[in-house]
Structure 1
Amino acid sequence: MRILAFSDLHRDRETAAQIVAASANADVLVGAGDFAMRGLGLADTLDVLSDVAAPLVVVSGNHDNSAELSAACEAAPMLHYLDGDTVSFGGVTFYGIGREIPFQKDAPWSESRSEDAARMMLRSCPEDAILVSHAPPYGVLDHQADGRCGGSQALRELLGERPPRLHLCGHIHHCAGQKSQLGATRIFNLGPSLTWIEF
């Protein structure tokens, strides 16, 4: 399977158009959240991305309005919004969980989820799925510019207990474009670029 993945477009229509142009060469696309900016402008990127040539799996970021994102995906046949559920293509299962985990940004537009809520939701993540989240796991590809960790303990625990096949995330811009591995799981902090992953 050939996956084209990205995150944190933040209303960048030019990169969205590049993704659409490249989508003919992908089996599946993954967008790991933050299509909007501070709760505004979701349509700037979603209207472009609705023309992808392969299925696009998306989760919401903390800058997105999750209800608006879900509705936009319902109206676009190639877009598949995940939040605590799965979708499968070519025998490969994708599981998605969106928003910032845990709460960090005290702003009215920022959507977050507690670690406990994430733990409850992640119970339904199948083994060997491709895990798509906006937040990275704690201590892996989550270091802010000042050295603080901004990832999720719940995601880190899942990687230790029921390792997914891949973990695709974003959110922490300082680590965008980097990859790592925890146990058997390859982890990608995607960022607003075109990341190709084959397996």
Structure 2
Amino acid sequence: MKVLAFSDLHMARNRAADLVAASADADLVIGAGDYCNMRQGLDEAMQMLSGVSAPLVLIPGNAESAEDLGKAVPEGVHVLHGTGMTVDGLRLFGLGYGVPPTPFGDWSCDLTEGEAAELLARCGGADILISHSPPKGHGDVTSQGMAVGSVAVRNAIERIQPRFTFCGHIHDSWGYRGSIGRTRIANLGPKVNWFEVAV
């Protein structure tokens, strides 16, 4: 299966246009959160992605709530947050929000490590884990050199061992590629990222 994945669109119209154009060649499109800015403009962001021509699965970032995203997505788009689904035999599980809580204030949708661990415990297995926040120590380094990823996400990866974990959130680490055990980790960023996933 040819998977197109991205994160942190943040209302970038030209980036959205690139993703929509690329989606014509995709079997599945995955968004790993942060489509708008500070919980503003989500409807507009979804309109920018409305031309995606492949099945579209999204998780919320810390810039939008799961409830707001569920209301804003076009018909047929799937939103995962502490939930999973199967697309053409490919098992997906999604966890949105910032983990651990960000310093950004009341607008940011965040989870504690404990809250994230509870939601991730629902996942018995997945081929792709989609997490807005990266796992601790992988794709999580800020411009100040701090590793601010999630311990709960890392623990879940070690337990589940999905084939891929897609994340975003930490802009300074966009483009990171690494691995935990057999799991390939990708901090995506708002660009066209291609992955071949056998079903």
TM class by smaller structure: over 0.9
Letter paired with 2:96: G
Deviations 1:110-141 (A, max 9, x none): 01011101111101113243100100000111
| 1:82 corresponds to | 80
User: What secondary structure sits across from 1:52 in the alignment?
Assistant: coil
Q: Which one of the candidate residues 184, 190, 193 is aligned to 1:192?
A: 190
How many residues get paired? 197
Q: Which one of the candidate residues 157, 162, 165 is aligned to 2:163?
A: 165
Runs of 4+ residues over 3 Å off in structure 1: none
Tell whether the 8 Å contact from 2:130 to 2:166 is kept in structure 1 after alignment. Answer: yes
For residues 43 and 103 of structure 1, the distance between their equivalents in structure 2, rounded to whole angstroms, comes to 25
Identity %: 40
Shift of 1:20: 1.0
For residues 39 and 106 of structure 1, the distance between their equivalents in structure 2, rounded to whole angstroms, comes to 12
For residues 126 and 65 of structure 2, the distance between their equivalents in structure 1, rounded to whole angstroms, comes to 29
| 1:118 corresponds to | 116
Tell whether the 8 Å contact from 1:12 to 1:44 is kept in structure 2 after alignment. Answer: no
| 2:12 corresponds to | 12
User: What secondary structure sits across from 1:136 in the alignment?
Assistant: coil
Deviations 1:67-96 (A, max 9, x none): 2111112xx234110001112111001110
Counting only pairs closer than 5 Å after superposition, residues 49-198 of structure 1 correspond to structure 2 as 49-73=49-73, 76-198=74-196
Tell whether the 8 Å contact from 1:20 to 1:49 is kept in structure 2 after alignment. Answer: yes
Q: Where do 5+ consecutive residues of structure 2 fail to align?
A: none
* TM-score, normalization by structure 1: 0.95
* Alignment RMSD: 1.1
For residues 181 and 65 of structure 1, the distance between their equivalents in structure 2, rounded to whole angstroms, comes to 29
Q: Verify: 1:46 aligned to 2:28, yes or no.
A: no
> Which piece of structure 1 moves more, 184-193 or 78-87?
78-87
Tell whether the 8 Å contact from 1:50 to 1:79 is kept in structure 2 after alignment. Answer: no
Tell whether the 8 Å contact from 2:66 to 2:81 is kept in structure 1 after alignment. Answer: no
